[in-house]
Amino acid sequence: MNNLLSILDLTTEEIDELIEKAQDIIAHPDYYHEKCKYKKLATLFFEPSTRTRLSFEAAMLDLGGKVMGFSEAQASSAAKGESVADTVRTVGCYVDIIAMRHPKEGAPLVASMHAGVPIINAGDGGHNHPTQTLTDLLTIKCEKGRLTNMTIGLCGDLKFGRTVHSLIEAMSRYEGIKFILISPEELKLPNYVKQEILDKKGIEYEETRDLIEAMPKLDILYMTRVQRERFFNEEDYIRLKDSYILTPEKMTYGKESLTVMHPLPRVNEISVAVDDDPRAAYFKQVSNGKFIRMALIMKLLNIK
């Protein structure tokens, strides 16, 4: 594997290997402190990011490497009209690996054809965000001890949420997975995702608008934001928005072993009062993002 552009670039064996490596990094951080000494990572972020950019930088620094790059397009020659191809070809002369976020779908694929060094897609528009999916998988493995035989509830914006689509794509490769899709009618999972992934693989799923009804069945609850701007009228939004705010009262319907996840940033879809519940794992996800990216950087640089 020379680049990571989509979660589909990885076999399940490679995903399991990355997760195992990340768990070893968590257990033995000191062992990895100089694994990337003298290596350089460029973070080319053509649109804003907090968690993803900083976790890549923290990952490389914790491996003993160095980081350079920019955090918005205006801070680069893209502001002068330079193409993505020329930018990465230039940056590839200075670094060993590039993590890139771009608002245009397919931009990291173009970059991978010109950079001369490994490219990691750190998000391209509404298309792919494979390292977020790896973060989610590591979190599930750490919390549950497995990636098989569980019921996953996906709640909120299932129509436009790239993290939801990628997680379905990844988890559908593992045995015994069932999905409960919790959303308003306006934000249901697109038919093409259901047909091309769930139906094609014979994966069990159900759709509901009722979060409380679904709660007792879930091993994982993956929350996303219900986006006001996706509704055609304000009345529908007002009628539905509170259905998908996770509160301590709604948590009483969940199993003691439930794990609550969220790709962040959140707005108001999880009450801050839930943060102290031991079943809340969304800030653990943030930490896990650094460890899985450390494992990925080492794999792409062929560092054993």
Indicate which residues carry an active-site annotation: 51-52, 80, 101, 129
- The token pair at 280 is 């809340």
- Long-range contacts at 57-61 (CB < 8 A, ≥ 24 apart): 58/290, 59/290, 59/291, 59/293, 59/294, 59/297, 60/36, 60/297
> Sheet holding 177-182: strands in order across?
204-208, 177-182, 150-155, 220-223, 259-261
207 φ, ψ (degrees, to nearest 5): -115, 140
- The token pair at 278 is 């031991």
Cα 273 to chain centroid distance, Å, stands at 24
One-letter-per-residue 3-state SS of 18-51: HHHHHHHHHHCHHHHCCCCCCCEEEEEECCCCCH
Q: What is the distance between the alpha carbons of residues 172 and 154, in angstroms, rounded to a whole number? A: 13
Find out whether 182 and 244 touch, Cβ atoms under 8 Å.
yes
Contacts of 213 (CB under 8 A, 6+ apart): none
Q: Alpha helix (H) ranges present in 172-214?
A: 191-193, 211-214
